[in-house]
A and B are shown apart, each in its own frame.
Chain A
Amino acid sequence: MAKTLQTTSVGSFPKPPSLQAARARFRRGEITRDELRAAEREATRTVIAVQEDLGYDVLVHGEMERGDMVAYFAENWSGFTESLPVRSYGNRYYRKPIVEAAVGNGGRAGLTVESWRFASQLTAKPVKGMLTGPYTICDWSYNAYYPDRRSLVLALAELVHEEAKALENAGAEYIQIDEPALSVRPEEIDLAIEAMDIVTRGLRAHTVSHVCYGRFESIYPRLLDLPVDQLDLEAANGHYALLDLIGRYPWPHNKELALGVVDVHSHRTESVDEVKAGIRRALEIVPADKLYIDPDCGLKTRTWDEALAKLTVVAEAARAVREEAGWA
């Protein structure tokens, strides 16, 4: 019998205090890059151990080496420069990349493989290879070079495809290509789908795309045509209104849904009962063997304790629903 209600996580984890301190010391020139890498690996060990302890099924490496999901690629690839910080909400800022020349891998092909491989060696469970999608890299960068967005998106799609191939060649069974920006410009969903088709071209790995915080009603059900095996969508932040939308259409038999059931932008930890109720609503729409359970989005905006508490609730709620249904 196929495993039901598998648990996973979206991508980033908060950086433990020890790594935060190491990053600060590195910025001040007090430690070497190798010492920073050692701190990142130590944090990755903790991230994997947490997920193992909680019984998660498909793990993430936590992105300890990344500051921001777009800036990380821009910092390592060619064609980008970095802006001064730009606010994204509250007191959160990021350095928005500026595309100033033709984009390329900058001699860093397989950029994400090392961190994935290190994490994978720590567990027998699958660890997702984590990439940011071309549409989102374009949308969250300033384009000061390409004549239009389409040209930039398609150029980036080839780069992300190279990276996905490198992860697959290294052994990644799951490759996640995050496209959180996809949900805001319905007039460009065809472009995003075309780009994802380039990214996932010829891949045998299980492909996932995470999309969040937008007007899903403007891109649904077209979103189902995104050429990936699994869509990972946030629901808790919107009080599960997403399920009302999804429920209007038959869930495709060849697609999985990973559903966000805890709000990563709230300090409050949801109760197990709340999360169980959300899972049960989703099970009315999506078969259990097609449904994964996870937090709404990456956890890096939460404190370590908050993230742990939310991950615990997700695991406990999924386990309880499995047991109550006799799937355990």
Chain B
Amino acid sequence: MKTCVLGSFPKIPAGSGASVRSAVQRFERGAIGPRELSTTFRDVTARVVNLADAAHLDVTTDGQIRWYDLFDPLARDIDNFRPSGLLRLFDNNFYYRHPVITGRLQFQGGTLAAWTREAAALSRIPLKVALPGPFTVLALSEDQSYRDRARWLADVVDVLRLEADSLTGTGAVEVQWDEPALAALPGAERGEVRDVYAALTGGAQLVQSIALYWGLSARWLGGLEGLPVARVYVDAVSDPAVLAALAETVWPFEVGAGLLDARSVRAENPDEVLSRLEPVLRRQGADRVWLHPSSGLELLPPDRAEQKVLALGAIKNLINGQKGR
């Protein structure tokens, strides 16, 4: 069994150490310059990937330390994709700048690739990049230009594919498409999801994965069969029933079980996690199962987020030790 995180991580330390929060405050007051601010982002990113290394994760993200929100790199890399007013991110007390589409989308690139190259150089373990998938982009942004959903979606897929391709050679090993909108909101149609993901992931150079969280994900598993997607990560906290789907059917992709609640400070009992995961391990085969938090960890205070990452390592040791895996 393998372990990973899904995306974001707190930008402040649990104890002493570099803090994006205080660096930004000092930068805005003029107390530090752009170089010191950039160094802070780098130091905090290093802390995140070093924690993942200490927990013996198999794959990590960079914690999205430089990101304002999940759309930030897209807003920087894509023309006419402009951050606007604050909206609540699903049912979280966290707010994102909802993107407004002001013209035909054009990929310029550069920012995310640079951030990823920096993080990959810092990390001793493989690094993946989590990007919002096309259905989440459409659900959370506002079109003021296309006025034709099909054309808008086609261009979104195109620019996201270009963004993903730009990560080739940066050191990243995987692109994870985050689709909370598919899990949390009604409306998407299975055939369209298949077509879109075939176009988005077909022929991609980096490993492709999909993360479904903050809602119901079991219903999507069947629709993702046959796509060039190596892994599907699901949120078993929001949708405990998904574990039955993972325990009953052998899926053609690797599966990730989000059993550590990324929105609760309660520490999971390793034995309980093990007992819930056991049927999945038996059905899928341990080498095809990932354990991870239910979503990104930035919704937790830094001490609890760290505990969740370290718990991943402890539970992996427990499972692999007991089962000789």
Contacts and interface: CB of A to CB of B under 8 A. Distances in A.
A88 B91 contact: no
Interface of A: 83-91, 93, 96, 98, 139-140, 142-144, 181, 183-185, 213-214, 237-239, 263, 265-266
Contacts of B266: 142, 144
A144 B264 contact: yes
Interface stretch (B8-16, B73-81, B222-230): B8-16
B301 A140 contact: no
Given A89-B86, A93-B21, A265-B85, A213 B301 contact: no
Interface string B236-271: 000000000000000000000000000011100000
Q: Shortest 6 CB-CB distances between A and B: which pairs?
A: A89-B95, A84-B301, A83-B301, A184-B91, A237-B85, A142-B265
B24 interface: yes
B12 A93 contact: yes
Contacts of A85: 12, 21, 301
Given A84-B12, A86-B10, A89-B94, A98 B265 contact: yes
Contacts of A140: 93
A216 to B, nearest CB: 11
A71 B298 CA distance: 19
A266 B83 CA distance: 12
B96 A89 contact: yes
Contacts of B304: 83
A184 B12 CA distance: 27
A193 B320 CA distance: 48
Contacts of A87: 10-12, 21, 94, 298
A87 B12 CA distance: 9
B108 interface: no
Interface residues of B, number: 31
Contacts of A139: 91, 93
A69 to B, nearest CB: 11
Contacts of B85: 237-239, 263, 265-266
B10 A83 contact: no
A91 B25 contact: yes
B303 A91 contact: no
Contacts, number: 73
B87 A213 contact: yes
Contacts of B298: 86-87
Contacts of A143: 264
A185 B93 CA distance: 12
Nearest to B95: A89
A143 B266 CA distance: 8
A83 B14 CA distance: 10
Residue with the highest number of chain B CB atoms closer than 10 Å, among A91, A96, A139: A91
15 contacts: A83-B304, A86-B299, A86-B301, A87-B10, A87-B298, A89-B86, A91-B24, A96-B301, A143-B264, A183-B88, A184-B88, A184-B92, A185-B91, A213-B95, A237-B85
Nearest to A143: B264
Given A88-B93, A91-B25, A185-B91, A213 B300 contact: no
Contacts of A265: 85-86
B95 A88 contact: yes
Given A86-B300, A90-B68, A184 B90 contact: yes
B69 interface: yes
Interface centre among B10, B24, B85, B299 (most CB of A within 10 A): B85
A213 B97 CA distance: 11
A27 B55 CA distance: 35
Contacts of B299: 86
A265 B87 CA distance: 10
B126 interface: no
B239 to A, nearest CB: 13
B302 interface: yes
Nearest to B85: A237
A238 B85 CA distance: 7
Interface string B86-115: 111011111110000000000000000000
Given A84-B12, A181-B93, A265-B86, A89 B69 contact: yes
Contacts of B24: 91
A205 to B, nearest CB: 28
Given A86-B300, A91-B25, 13 more contacts: A83-B301, A84-B303, A87-B10, A87-B94, A87-B298, A89-B86, A89-B94, A93-B12, A93-B21, A96-B301, A140-B93, A263-B85, A266-B85
Contacts of A239: 85
A74 to B, nearest CB: 13
Contacts of A96: 93, 301
